[in-house]
A and B are shown apart, each in its own frame.
Chain A
């Protein structure tokens, strides 16, 4: 069988398997705990007809895109800088690794204090989750660039800025994309958590609100929607990631 078709078939089988488990859980736990796949999809359709849902979805998308922009641009710039500067990198790396493995929950009070409730706190939540893997991957990619490529830039008489843009960036790109892929998921997670704790708008708020109202269907519908969207985005980024890594040989 064609490997591409085989891969798609694998996806399909995993999807069907998950649906079966979900249906099984529903039959076992019953209506009060979770809603069935069919109910969930129907409810999602009903939600989509309400203006309120789109307002929340838009709020999440807005905050997510802003966080992602900060995480990506900030992460790459800081990563390049730490990767080039040996001393700064050596000081920063253990701190970053500690931050990466630290449950970010512990930072929430601080962020709330600084940013207050609302959009900026959400964005800050998203960005601090997402930026660290981007920094770490960019930094280690820059450090492991073969010195002969940098020497080539010197022979071509490139300025430091041009060297960063034309040699360091593309050389590090496959690793940067890996960092962005991980950062993407974590940014989304951060924004949703931010909405749950520190906001009156967005899909995260909708979920926490639905839990409060015992509205299982809404809670499930929004959660499943987020999982599916994040899953699709991850698959696409993973494909890009593999492609870049293959080309780099």
Chain B
């Protein structure tokens, strides 16, 4: 089966300037996302995870290598069918929750009732039904991220890129939000790439987990989890779950120490 989205020999160097030296942030790295798979990326802080996402999405150019989505090269623009939820809060403070979620549909040529139906269903899906007229300033950080996920969902992306969407949440809520993401993945049939720094989250959610090295990030290990498609946070009770997390950690430990600069 051909890859849904792929990076081949991709690296990214942030150009210097203004007295700053160029910074080699990522790669060279290869990645082939299978259609419909859930792929998680873990790696030490600053290793280039967000950079990987931006290059894959077409938001930032690869310095070397090629990026493809559905068989076509990605360069200079985000292809249709790709949805991104960023690490930082990207909700629009001037619009209420409803208008935030409807943002990408307005002016898209869809008629009003179709827009309304999609927005309502995304709001319900993300547990935001009662907050349609609230402004982001009135919501918690986790709820704002849910607004951003809903805003992406209504566009029915075929590839969804999530950059630590629950970084701001406590561990328990994060696991429950993980269940929501699994549900979203199953119901949309989309290919999902999730960046996270929580190993248990990666182990629970993904079909495959890619472990990245310290900057410039490369994959040092890619682990197949072998979970059934129907799964949820109760996986965490299984003994082989613990073994999986332990394996991820043993790969990551040395790299995390490097990233802290202790070598």
Name A's B-contacting residues (CB within 8 A).
146, 148-149, 151-152, 154-157, 162, 166-167, 170-171, 173, 247-249
Minimal beta-carbon separation of A184 from chain B (angstroms): 22
Q: Is B88 close to A, CB under 8 A?
A: yes
- B96-148 with Cβ < 8 A to chain A: 103-104, 107, 135-137
B78 and A162 contact, CB distance less than 8 A: no
A162 and B95 contact, CB distance less than 8 A: no
Instruction: Give how many B residues have a beta carbon under 8 Å from the other chain's beta carbons.
Output: 25
Q: Is B21 close to A, CB under 8 A?
A: no
Q: Is B192 close to A, CB under 8 A?
A: no
B94 and A170 contact, CB distance less than 8 A: yes
Query: Could you tell me the distance between the alpha carbons of A156 and B82 in the complex, rounded to whole angstroms?
Result: 9
Query: What is the 8 Å Cβ interface bit string for chain B, positions 30-71, against chain A (1 contact, 0 not)?
Result: 000000000000000000000000100101000000000000
A171 and B94 contact, CB distance less than 8 A: yes
The answer to whether A155 and B94 touch (CB under 8 A), given A146-B88, A247-B137, A249-B136, is no
Minimal beta-carbon separation of B22 from chain A (angstroms): 19
B77 and A152 contact, CB distance less than 8 A: no
Q: Chain B residues near A149: list those with CB within 8 A.
A: 90, 92
Q: Chain A residues near B73: list those with CB within 8 A.
A: none
Pick from B137, B152, B155: contact of A249, CB below 8 A: B137
Chain A's closest residue to B78 (CB) is A155
Interface SS of B by simple majority: loop
Query: Could you tell me the distance between the alpha carbons of A142 and B28 in the complex, rounded to whole angstroms?
Result: 35
B94 and A152 contact, CB distance less than 8 A: no
Minimal beta-carbon separation of B145 from chain A (angstroms): 12
B57 and A155 contact, CB distance less than 8 A: yes
Chain B's closest residue to A152 (CB) is B90
The answer to whether A156 and B92 touch (CB under 8 A), given A247-B137, A249-B136, is no
The answer to whether A248 and B77 touch (CB under 8 A), given A146-B88, A155-B59, A155-B83, is no
Among A151, A154, A155: residue with most chain B CB under 10 A: A155
Pick from A148, A162, A249: contact of B90, CB below 8 A: A148
Q: Is B86 close to A, CB under 8 A?
A: yes
The answer to whether A154 and B59 touch (CB under 8 A), given A247-B137, A248-B137, is yes
Chain A's closest residue to B155 (CB) is A156
Q: Chain B residues near A173: list those with CB within 8 A.
A: 94
Q: Chain A residues near B83: list those with CB within 8 A.
A: 155
